């Protein structure tokens, strides 16, 4: 947004007709500025004024969609440079590259389809398959695109700077809105025409930021992804930072998501570079590897960086078994804030303790925050103790609560009928606590 | 179409910490966001330290033990090995002081620290066993024994900072100030320590980081905010940040789980190394300056990456 009430008022019809439900146009403008009304409530506003207001209020980074149906991927709509200022909105799309010269394309695509990981009860996967015209041969490219399209679970990126080859490939895949990658100064008009014909998103590549801005201006097309041409990680970082900064300052040519290529010849360094691009603003990152050992760390990093800082991730509030707990295993009580849970779980595992962990549902907030907010109470702990079935699994009635909430123990003991042991304040102390206090 | 490069005009910078008897290693000093050479200076590379324990680690995965075969029970030989592996500093962790293990006396710990210090020619980071009261006693003796070696001692917390700060001031060391994932607590501890007249460039902030997948984003944002604070002139946040990445990354299931346990995660060696490497390089993007690592391959890979990031990207 960013428009003030007065700026909006200048564009309104000034009829004071009350059709919008407000007493005057000025009052309506004020409501608009504060986001309490929307422009379509005024039936008399002119198209020109609508356009002016829309573009002024358009998000700094456009929302671009790749693919169709359940393979669709949305990118952009970002509004900040630092995640702590608000949050990053659309997680970086991870694309795996397949060359049309590869021996067994189907096998590689099947390997890509398997890159699906479960984390904190959520499924995370790669998003795109990038078919690369490495052969330079149009027929081979088209054939590869067809093979990949038929066997892939993901939307496609078509990589070729040869407009003729792209045209052939789009005859096969154009209906599914693949990302055309892409246009540069040499093939610009032909590629742009193809993108418009199939209404597909288009990568625009400049030799540097200046040429990139010029090409975008020339395009007059809104479904764009930007490539500044930089390929070394230090330069990509600078360009990514510039593109995001300028977009936020409403420099329109840079108001689109970006694409970055992790092409480093050293396979480990390629992953490290991709990590930088995920942290630093890339809309899409293209990898050459489909090895799960390479992709898992990057998917995890993306999940972490794009987590909403205002909404903690929670684990499911249920009984967890660590190791192979027997009937005399200890029972740890904690909260379902994922970080809290993983700390406890990690330290219990580190101590090689077989145990039960019982994360009480605190809406995903930590032990002390939960306690202060009245969400980690003797009542709630007792309720979970009774409902999760722990009483049938162990032959004792002892639970260990975090040292930080020792004050709960009296009431908890009274309510639950279980003996309450006050554990260490930090979970790092669990192994020595168990050594000294459990079963002794 | 000429694009006007957007440059921030930062008014201040991160303080520069000097380590080692011959002041050979420097950390911090940046007057810009990480690796944005186009709007400020990045005078020093990140400092990469490898850990040495004074007690043979029992629960390290085989992949992590392998490079140190034969030296895990000998801190002096282990420290020398770390230097061979290219570590900029050696981080000696005095685990034997822990009451649950050997409960070694402060004098014994000081003797070990001295032996290690004499065996290597890189700066030392000396880390206690994590029990706050014990660490205060141990670091006091260690600080005396290593007077003039200009080490980095840690970890000072709200509870034990007084003794450790005093030792550092008397014997010429720097201090790691630990606070749990909270920028205000970090700042408060720095204020308390500087009120004892410890110079600001002898404090390293330890935000108690989590590894990739285990809370990396919290520390990431705290470090970004600390760097912004430093660049905008907040003296109590203008310290280099130290990250104990090895300790955290090797706790992760993804690093410890062997090939046959989680085949869908790919080969353990590759993902374990990447877990430590990627945690490190991500924190380097947020403003981390000193990294305490465990695997020599991580040191090698992070060095290659940082050398590249140190090349100018000025427009």
**Last residue of some domain: A18, A39, A57?**
A57
Contact A238 B313 (CB under 8 A): yes
Kindly state whether residue B21 falls inside one of the protein's structural domains.
Answer: yes
In chain B, residues with a C-beta closer than 8 Å to the C-beta of A232 are: 308, 311
Contact A300 B35 (CB under 8 A): no
Contact A301 B304 (CB under 8 A): no
Q: Which residue has the higher pLDDT, A42 or A38?
A: A42
Average pLDDT, chain B: 95
State the CATH number of the domain containing residue B155: 3.20.20.20
Would you state the pLDDT for residue A273? 98
Cβ of B103 under 8 Å from any chain A Cβ?
no
**Last residue of some domain: A306, A339, A369?**
A306
Kindly state whether residue B101 falls inside one of the protein's structural domains.
Answer: yes
The per-residue pLDDT for range A341-397, each reduced to its tens digit, is 988 988 898 888 999 999 999 988 889 888 888 999 999 999 999 999 999 999 999
In chain B, residues with a C-beta closer than 8 Å to the C-beta of A301 are: 212, 216, 278, 282
The per-residue pLDDT for range A219-246, each reduced to its tens digit, is 889 999 999 999 999 999 999 999 999 9
Candidates A272, A296, A305; nearest CB to B266: A296
Q: Do A52 and A68 share a domain, yes or no?
A: no
Q: Do A188 and A209 share a domain, yes or no?
A: yes
Would you state the pLDDT for residue A373? 85
| Domain encompassing residue B232 | 14-306
When scoring B132, B182, B252, B313 by the number of chain A Cβ atoms within 10 A, the one with the most, hence best to mutate, is B313
Candidates B3, B251, B281; nearest CB to A276: B281
Per the structure, the count of domains in chain B is: 1
The per-residue pLDDT for range B186-243, each reduced to its tens digit, is 999 999 999 999 999 999 999 999 999 988 999 999 999 999 999 999 999 999 999 9
Q: Reply yes or no on whether the pLDDT at A58 is more than 80.
A: no
Kindly state whether residue B191 falls inside one of the protein's structural domains.
Answer: yes
Kindly state whether residue B4 falls inside one of the protein's structural domains.
Answer: no
**pLDDT band with cut points at 50, 70 and 90 for residue A46:** confident
Q: Reply yes or no on whether the pLDDT at B48 is more than 50.
A: yes
Kindly state whether residue B2 falls inside one of the protein's structural domains.
Answer: no
State the CATH number of the domain containing residue A239: 3.20.20.20
User: What stretch of H or E contains A64?
Assistant: strand A64-66
Cβ of B210 under 8 Å from any chain A Cβ?
yes
d(CA B153, CA B132): 13
The per-residue pLDDT for range A84-108, each reduced to its tens digit, is 999 999 999 999 999 999 989 999 9
Kindly state whether residue A311 falls inside one of the protein's structural domains.
Answer: no
**pLDDT band with cut points at 50, 70 and 90 for residue A1:** very low
Kindly state whether residue B56 falls inside one of the protein's structural domains.
Answer: yes
Per the structure, the count of domains in chain A is: 3
**pLDDT band with cut points at 50, 70 and 90 for residue A59:** confident
Cβ of B276 under 8 Å from any chain A Cβ?
no
Q: For a pLDDT cut of 70, what percent of chain A falls above it? A: 97
First vs last C-alpha separation in chain A: 64
User: What stretch of H or E contains A11?
Assistant: helix A5-11
Q: Reply yes or no on whether the pLDDT at B298 is more than 70.
A: yes
Kindly state whether residue B3 falls inside one of the protein's structural domains.
Answer: no
Dihedral (CA of A287, A292, A298, A302) sign: positive
Would you state the pLDDT for residue A55? 66
Candidates B217, B218, B265; nearest CB to A292: B265
Kindly state whether residue A153 falls inside one of the protein's structural domains.
Answer: yes
A17 carries a ligand binding annotation: yes
The per-residue pLDDT for range B100-158, each reduced to its tens digit, is 889 999 999 999 999 999 999 999 999 999 999 999 999 999 999 999 999 999 899 99
Measuring CA to CA, which residue among A373, A370, A440 is closest to residue A404?
A370
d(CA B115, CA B105): 16
A42 carries a ligand binding annotation: yes
ipTM for the whole complex: 0.96
Dihedral (CA of A229, A233, A239, A245) sign: positive
| Domain encompassing residue A348 | 320-438
Kindly state whether residue B313 falls inside one of the protein's structural domains.
Answer: no
Classify A129 as helix, strand or coil: strand
d(CA A159, CA A151): 18
Would you state the pLDDT for residue A121? 63
State the CATH number of the domain containing residue A416: 3.40.50.11600
Question: Averaged over B256-279, what is the pLDDT?
Answer: 93
**pLDDT band with cut points at 50, 70 and 90 for residue B270:** very high
Contact A268 B273 (CB under 8 A): yes
Q: Do A213 and A253 share a domain, yes or no?
A: yes
Q: Reply yes or no on whether the pLDDT at A277 is more than 70.
A: yes
d(CA B256, CA A407): 36
**pLDDT band with cut points at 50, 70 and 90 for residue B24:** confident
Would you state the pLDDT for residue B300? 98
CA distance A303 to chain B (A): 8
A20 carries a ligand binding annotation: yes
Cα Rg of chain A (Å, integer): 28
In chain A, residues with a C-beta closer than 8 Å to the C-beta of B2 are: 210
């Amino acid at each position: 947004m960013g428009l003030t009430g007065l700026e909006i008022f200048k564009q309104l019809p000034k009829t004071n007709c009350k059709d919008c439900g407000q007493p005057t146009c000025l009052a309506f403008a004020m409501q608009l500025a504060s986001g309490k009304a929307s422009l379509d409530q005024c039936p008399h506003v002119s198209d020109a004024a609508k356009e002016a207001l829309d573009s002024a209020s358009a998000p700094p980074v456009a929302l671009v969609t790749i693919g169709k149906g359940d393979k669709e991927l949305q990118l952009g709509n970002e509004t900040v440079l630092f995640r702590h200022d608000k949050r990053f909105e659309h997680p970086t799309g991870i694309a795996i590259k397949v060359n049309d010269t590869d021996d067994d394309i189907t096998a590689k695509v099947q390997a890509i389809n398997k890159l699906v990981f479960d984390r904190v009860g959520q499924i995370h996967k790669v998003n795109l398959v990038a078919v690369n015209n490495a052969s330079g041969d149009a027929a081979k490219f088209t054939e590869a695109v067809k093979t990949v399209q038929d066997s892939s679970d993901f939307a496609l990126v078509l990589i070729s700077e040869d407009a003729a080859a792209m045209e052939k490939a789009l005859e096969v895949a154009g209906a599914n809105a693949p990302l055309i990658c892409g246009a540069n100064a040499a093939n610009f008009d032909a590629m742009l025409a193809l993108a418009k014909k199939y209404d597909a998103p288009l990568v625009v590549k400049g030799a540097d930021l200046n040429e990139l801005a010029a090409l975008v201006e020339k395009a007059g097309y809104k479904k764009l992804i930007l490539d500044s041409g930089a390929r070394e990680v230090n330069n990509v970082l600078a360009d990514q930072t510039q593109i995001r900064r300028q977009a936020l300052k409403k420099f329109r040519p840079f108001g689109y998501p970006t694409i970055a290529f992790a092409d480093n010849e050293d396979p480990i360094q390629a992953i490290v570079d991709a990590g930088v691009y995920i942290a630093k603003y890339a809309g899409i990152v293209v990898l050459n590897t489909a090895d799960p050992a390479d992709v898992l760390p990057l998917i995890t990093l993306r999940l972490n960086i794009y987590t909403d800082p205002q909404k903690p991730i929670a684990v499911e509030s249920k009984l967890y078994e660590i190791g192979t707990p027997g009937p005399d295993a200890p029972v740890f009580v904690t909260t379902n804030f994922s970080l809290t849970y993983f700390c406890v779980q990690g330290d219990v595992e580190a101590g090689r303790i077989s145990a039960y962990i019982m994360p009480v549902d605190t809406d995903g907030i930590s032990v002390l925050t939960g306690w202060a907010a009245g969400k980690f109470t003797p009542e709630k702990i007792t309720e979970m103790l009774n409902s999760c079935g722990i009483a049938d699994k162990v032959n004792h009635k002892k639970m260990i609560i975090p040292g930080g909430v020792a004050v709960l123990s009296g009431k908890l003991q009274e309510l639950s009928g279980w003996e309450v042991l006050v554990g260490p304040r930090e979970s790092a102390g669990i192994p020595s606590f168990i050594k000294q206090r459990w079963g002794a | 179409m000429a694009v006007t490069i957007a440059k921030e005009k930062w008014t201040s910078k991160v303080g520069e910490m000097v380590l080692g008897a011959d002041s050979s290693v420097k950390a911090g000093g940046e007057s810009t966001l990480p690796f944005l050479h186009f709007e400020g200076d990045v005078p020093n590379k990140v400092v990469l330290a490898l850990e040495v324990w004074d007690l043979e680690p029992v629960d390290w995965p085989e992949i992590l033990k392998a490079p140190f075969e034969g030296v895990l029970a000998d801190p002096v030989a282990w420290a020398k090995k770390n230097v061979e592996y290219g570590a900029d500093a050696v981080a000696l962790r005095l685990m034997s002081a822990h009451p649950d293990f050997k409960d070694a006396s402060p004098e014994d710990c000081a003797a070990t620290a001295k032996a290690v210090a004499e065996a290597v020619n890189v700066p030392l980071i000396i880390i206690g066993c994590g029990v706050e009261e014990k660490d205060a006693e141990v670091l006091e003796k260690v600080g005396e024994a290593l007077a003039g070696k200009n080490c980095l001692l840690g970890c000072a917390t709200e509870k034990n900072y007084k003794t450790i700060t005093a030792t550092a001031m008397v014997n010429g060391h720097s201090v790691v100030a630990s606070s749990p994932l909270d920028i205000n607590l970090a700042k408060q501890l720095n204020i308390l320590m500087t009120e004892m007249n410890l110079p600001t460039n002898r404090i390293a902030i330890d935000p108690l980081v989590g590894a990739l997948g285990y809370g990396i984003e919290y520390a990431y944002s705290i470090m970004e905010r600390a760097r912004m604070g430093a660049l905008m002139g907040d003296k109590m946040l203008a310290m280099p940040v130290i990250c104990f990445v090895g300790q955290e990354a090797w706790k992760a299931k993804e690093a410890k789980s062997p090939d046959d346990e989680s085949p869908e995660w790919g080969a353990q060696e590759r993902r374990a190394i990447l877990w430590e490497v990627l945690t490190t390089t991500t924190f380097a993007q947020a403003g981390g300056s000193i990294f305490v690592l465990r695997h020599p391959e991580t040191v090698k890979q992070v060095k290659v990456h940082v050398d590249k990031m140190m090349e100018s990207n000025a427009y």
